[in-house]
């Protein structure tokens, strides 16, 4: 009998706070996991940006969401499969154990307790006939706060509707068709969701939003609704990568960083977590007349190929060892998908994302202008830790 386990992660832009933990070892583990998550974010970006399917397209995803999903999957992985997941996520298994990773994500998933803007958690949908290892479910509930429900996957349309409704509710309708088909023999879905809605600390006034042009490339321009505001902003020009960075704070502990490079290819090649740290340290307030486009974008990715390129190979074939999920069934990951959406307007930003892992058995003063009227990158980060919730590149605001 064939059986399929699908592992989905939902995420959306939300303001997150950080829970406190009093154990020094957990603090060290949290620091290591947080650092790994940042490295993973940019490594994954590089793979996505270089993929032929994404050339000339907007990129937007939640590295935080994908990290939660793969970390939860690692709870049930063993042997080389587990080692590859840990390494691919950026964690040194000689410094942290699986329990350390679980403890760290337990803290990260409690961030929502400090903010009314965030909804974050995980869920598992189990077929009525499937009984995973009790220890696997225990760890998911204890560290990943997993809601567990039973469904009948033999009634595939009804099961898909149940999962999609759950996803839509958690992402406030931003992701409403995560499951578009149901593989025969599906026995389990794991979901991780994060929803973010951030209101600007100082909103744009709608009366100043005007139609303007956005240069997609040297030969193509599109019409956009361009927001405008003159105010004091945190700005930094990084001479090393010829990029101007603008920080737009939300009325919380989170901000959106907008990166306007002279050369996008150089920025994409060089950017790393250390840049974020440097910018946070050296940004200075200065009066600017800024122009930022309003936009709504959606993205959809299949991640099998890029995760394989990042060293997570065994989980996709006969070498997979997911015996921690179910010792009595031979499981492997058949697909990993990710969907995301982002809306930016005068009031703030709202984003949602979902990742799925399918596991199958077997005075007059000159005011400088900063105008985002050509391709730029963006991040949504936590101000204190520089943790990255969302990362992307806007090539065309109208797509």
Contact 183, 334 (CB under 8 A): yes
Residue 1 confidence (pLDDT): 36
- Both ends of the chain: CA-CA distance in Å? 43
289: β partners? 230, 369
Q: Is 73 helix (H, G, I), strand (E, B) or coil?
A: helix
Please tell me the predicted confidence (pLDDT) of residue 60: 96
Give the C-alpha separation, 118 to 95, whole Å.
Answer: 31
Question: Is the pTM here over 0.85, yes or no?
Answer: yes
User: Taking Cα atoms as reference points, which of 94, 43, 110, 49 lies closest to residue 70?
Assistant: 43
CATH number of 4-199+296-361: 3.30.497.10
Region for residue 225 given its phi and psi (left: phi exceeds 0; alpha: psi -120 to 50; beta: otherwise): beta
C-alpha–C-alpha distance, residues 358 and 373, integer Å: 39
What is the C-alpha separation between 314 and 304, in angstroms, rounded? 11
Q: Which residues of 14-37 are buried (b: 16+ CB within 10 A; e: fewer)?
A: bbbbbeebeeeebeebbebbbebb
Q: How far apart are CA 208 and CA 226, in angstroms?
A: 8
| pLDDT, one tens digit for every residue, the chain (399 residues) | 333 444 443 332 222 222 333 344 557 888 999 999 999 999 999 999 999 899 999 999 999 999 998 999 999 999 999 999 999 999 998 889 999 999 999 998 887 777 667 778 888 888 898 889 999 999 999 999 999 999 998 898 999 899 889 989 999 999 888 887 777 777 788 777 878 999 999 999 999 999 999 999 989 999 999 999 999 999 999 999 999 999 999 998 899 999 999 999 999 999 999 999 999 999 999 999 999 999 999 998 889 999 999 999 999 899 999 999 998 888 888 778 788 889 999 999 998 887 766 656 564 446 899 999 999 999 999 888 899 999 999 999 998
> Cα(279)–Cα(177) distance, rounded to whole angstroms?
38
Q: In the chain, where does DSSP find H-type helix?
A: 24-50, 63-74, 79-88, 98-108, 134-144, 156-170, 264-270, 273-282, 304-309
146: Cβ–Cβ under 8 A, 6 or more apart, which residues?
72, 121, 122, 123, 124, 137, 140, 190
**Measured between alpha carbons, how far is 132 from 125 in angstroms, rounded to an integer?**
11
Residues 6+ apart with CB under 8 A from 238: 244, 245, 275, 278, 279
Domain positions in the chain: 4-199+296-361, 206-292+364-394
Per-residue burial over 113-128, b if 16 or more Cβ lie within 10 Å, else e, is: ebbebbbbbbbbbbbe
pLDDT recorded at residue 177: 84
Q: Which of 287, 293, 289 is nearest to 209 (CA)?
A: 293
3-state secondary structure of 122: strand
The answer as to CATH 2.160.20.70 being correct for domain 206-292+364-394 is: no
Cα–Cα dist 292/209, whole Å: 9
Torsion of CA 216, 221, 222, 227, to 10 degrees: 80
Helix (H) or strand (E) holding 171: none
Among 130, 27, 139, residue whose Cα is nearest residue 72: 139
Specify the DSSP class assigned to residue 393.
Answer: E
Determine the Cα angle at 349 with ends 346 and 351, to 5°. 150
In a 10 Å sphere around its CB, with 0-12 CB exposed, 13-18 middle and 19+ buried, how is residue 57 labelled? middle
Helix axes 98-108, 24-50, angle to 10 degrees: 80
């Amino acid at each position: 009998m064939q059986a399929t386990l699908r592992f989905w992660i939902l995420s959306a832009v939300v303001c997150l706070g950080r829970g406190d933990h009093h154990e020094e070892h957990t603090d060290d583990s949290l620091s290591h996991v947080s650092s790994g998550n940042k490295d993973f974010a940019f490594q994954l970006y590089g793979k996505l940006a270089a993929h032929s399917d994404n050339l000339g397209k907007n990129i937007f995803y939640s590295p935080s969401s994908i990290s939660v999903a793969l970390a939860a999957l690692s709870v049930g992985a063993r042997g080389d499969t587990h080692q590859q997941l840990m390494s691919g996520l950026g964690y040194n298994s000689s410094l942290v154990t699986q329990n350390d990773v679980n403890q760290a994500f337990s803290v990260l998933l409690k961030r929502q307790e400090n903010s009314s803007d965030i909804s974050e958690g995980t869920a598992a949908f189990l077929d009525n006939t499937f009984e995973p290892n009790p220890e696997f479910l225990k760890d998911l509930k204890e560290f990943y706060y997993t809601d567990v429900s039973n469904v009948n996957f033999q009634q595939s349309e009804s099961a898909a509707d149940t999962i999609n409704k759950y996803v839509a509710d958690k992402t406030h309708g931003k992701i409403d068709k995560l499951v578009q088909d149901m593989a025969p023999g599906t026995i389990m879905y794991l979901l991780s969701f994060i929803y973010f809605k951030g209101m600007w600390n100082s909103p744009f006034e709608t009366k100043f939003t005007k139609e303007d042009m956005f240069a997609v490339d040297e030969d193509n321009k599109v019409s956009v609704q361009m927001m405008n505001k003159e105010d004091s902003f945190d700005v930094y020009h990084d001479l090393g990568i010829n990029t101007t960075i603008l920080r737009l704070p939300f009325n919380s502990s989170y901000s959106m960083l907008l990166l306007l490079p002279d050369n996008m290819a150089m920025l994409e090649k060089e950017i790393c977590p250390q840049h974020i740290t440097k910018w946070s340290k050296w940004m200075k307030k200065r009066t600017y007349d800024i122009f930022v486009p309003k936009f709504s974008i959606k993205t959809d990715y299949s991640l099998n190929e890029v995760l394989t390129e990042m060293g997570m190979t065994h989980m996709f074939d006969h070498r997979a060892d997911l015996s921690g999920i179910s010792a009595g069934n031979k499981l492997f990951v058949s697909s990993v998908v990710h969907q995301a959406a982002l809306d930016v307007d005068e009031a703030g930003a709202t984003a949602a994302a979902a990742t799925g892992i399918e596991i199958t058995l077997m005075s007059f003063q000159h005011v400088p202008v900063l105008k985002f009227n050509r391709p730029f990158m963006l991040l949504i980060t936590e101000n204190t830790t520089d943790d990255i919730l969302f990362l992307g590149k806007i090539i065309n605001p109208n797509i």
